[in-house]
Structure 1
Amino acid sequence: MRDPLRRGETEIKRVVGLPGEWVAIVEGRVLVRREGSSTWRALEEPYVRHNISERPAMWFVPEGHVFVLGDNRERSEDSRDWGPVPLNLVMGKVVYRYSPWSRRGPVR
């Protein structure tokens, strides 16, 4: 995706929230629910080594936007800093990981 603050720079982030969803961070876990639903689902994130250590927070993802998080949650600049990102900044989908060598291969 194109960085929403630094023109010309690109970022690789994971989309965790779609238009019409709420995204919350509670006790280090990412929770998502559809607008109008009372059921939250916790994301299964085997690719994240450490839970997020920050205060609870919640965001609504409006139409035409997505909510993105970096896999290195402790150091990533992402929608926690920027808010939901306009879809026109999304450039594509990661389909293959080259590094590290031990995890090289297709991305689910």
Structure 2
Amino acid sequence: MRARPLLLALLLPPLVALLTARRVVDDAMSPSIRAGDVVLLGPGGADPGDVVCLADPADPSRAVLRRVIAVEGQTVELGRGAARVNGEAHRVREMGPFGANTARSEQNRYLIQESSRSPALADQSWTVPPGHRFVLADDRDGALDGRAWGPVPATFGCGLVWLRVGPADLWRGPWSLWAQDGPWIPPSQDPDRHEAQEADKSAPSED
């Protein structure tokens, strides 16, 4: 278990002056972070799974949020199936429909969304150079990220997401540390979802 929550509780009061609040303006990091949410950005090194704020490589005047997948010295492979870092595939589990897409738990720490209709990506790989990170959007089909940019400098500019605040729903609570809402119960073991699935099966067909 990470020691970060305890560290945050101890250090938050003196660090408040170092934190910056931003309102999220797009859904590139949905389901975890959505338009209208407020994030607190602060200093810190970015580890895999963390969400960082960085200047959009295509438009440096615009700040974007993306999730770190790999750090310097690691090799990232993307294509069919889950992302692989240093040859090890990310653990991905389907969680259910999310709008027109499918929500998936990645590493049992955060959610991504993908369209089952999107074409398979060509196999690509990158080795992250010193002083860089490799980042992806949580909406894997709806936003540009490291697949277009390659590794980005670790000097992100506007910081690391310490806290996310926004409306709670089936997928997340009203707040989360480090933009990670997991772990999740598999749908087959979640009584509420199981009952909903059974109700759907027993509902009369409209055909």
Distance 1:90 1:70, change over 3 A: farther
Q: Deviation per CA, 1:8-45: give whole Å up to 9, x if none.
A: 11010000010001000132310001xxxxxx222231
The residue aligned with 1:96 is: 163
Mapped partners of 1:90, 1:68: distance in 2:
15
The residue aligned with 2:154 is: 87
4+ long deviations beyond 4 Å: none
Select 2:66's aligned residue among 4, 8, 13: 13
The residue aligned with 1:2 is: 55
| Contact 1:68–1:78 under 8 Å retained in 2 | yes
Q: Deviation per CA, 1:41-68: give whole Å up to 9, x if none.
A: 2223150132773111111110011000
Mapped partners of 1:28, 1:82: distance in 2:
20
Higher helix fraction: Structure 1 or Structure 2? 2
Normalised to the residue count of structure 1, the TM-score between the two structures is 0.81
Q: Return the index of the structure with the highest Cα Rg.
A: 2
The residue aligned with 1:36 is: none
Higher strand fraction: Structure 1 or Structure 2? 2
| Aligned-CA RMSD value | 2.0
Structure 2 portions without partners, runs of 5+: 1-53, 92-105, 181-207
Mapped partners of 1:48, 1:32: distance in 2:
17
Structure 1 portions without partners, runs of 5+: 34-39
Mapped partners of 2:75, 2:157: distance in 1:
19
Q: Which shows bigger deviation, 87-96 or 22-31?
A: 87-96
1:63 aligns with 2:130: yes
Normalised to the residue count of structure 2, the TM-score between the two structures is 0.45
Choose between structure 1 and 2 for higher RCO, CA contacts under 8 A separated by at least 6 residues.
1
Mapped partners of 1:28, 1:100: distance in 2:
31
Mapped partners of 1:85, 1:22: distance in 2:
14
Paired residues in the alignment total: 102
